[in-house]
Structure 1
Amino acid sequence: MLAPAVLWVIAFTFFPIISALHYSVANYVLGQGITGYVGLENYVSLLRDAEFWHSLGVTLIYVGVSVPLEVCSGFLLAWIITVGFPAKGFVRSVLTAPLFT
């Protein structure tokens, strides 16, 4: 019974990763396919691009702000539904309502 699970993991995890790595070292032209291999030139070009670094900075700021806010709000909501809060039942209903719709 393990074989189907292993095939599933190979098909939907390893194959896309290997395919992405293959395309990343190739010169791919839309409509023509792979026209040659450029090695690590694509990565060097990416690391020299100012727009990439700007995008990476914006992403890191977004992650640095949103993840702590989400974690803190999750802990706050968990605390509200476990302690004797007056609107505890209402908060619990609001949090679980999306599960039933």
Structure 2
Amino acid sequence: MDTMNTTHELPAFMIHQSFRYVIGRRSYAVTDWVSWAIENWGRVPEQSKRIIMTEVEERLTQVDFCQGTDDDLIVVTNSDSTPFGDDVDLGQWLRLRNLWTKDC
């Protein structure tokens, strides 16, 4: 069974707590969580969506970036990592962010 595409009836606290666990990590878990969230966004409770959107947007204020037209990601920082982890992790969070906004 492909658990990535299976929507589990999760309590809202598990959704936003797992989000808080993976945000800022430098791990494959970021890609797994973001892929799950994108697949199941329509079933995520509104309160959890607001928490996720608010925290992603707040962290984005700490990063200079631009998402190009071909999904190229340009990151301008003065360190090896961002509040999202590595640049590749930031790219995953921007994939999720595309659900509620297109920006650059």
TM-score band (shorter)? under 0.3
CA radius of gyration, larger in: 1
TM-score, scaled to structure 2: 0.26
Select the structure with the greater relative contact order (CA < 8 A; seq sep ≥ 6): 2
**Per residue, is there more helix in 1 or in 2?**
1
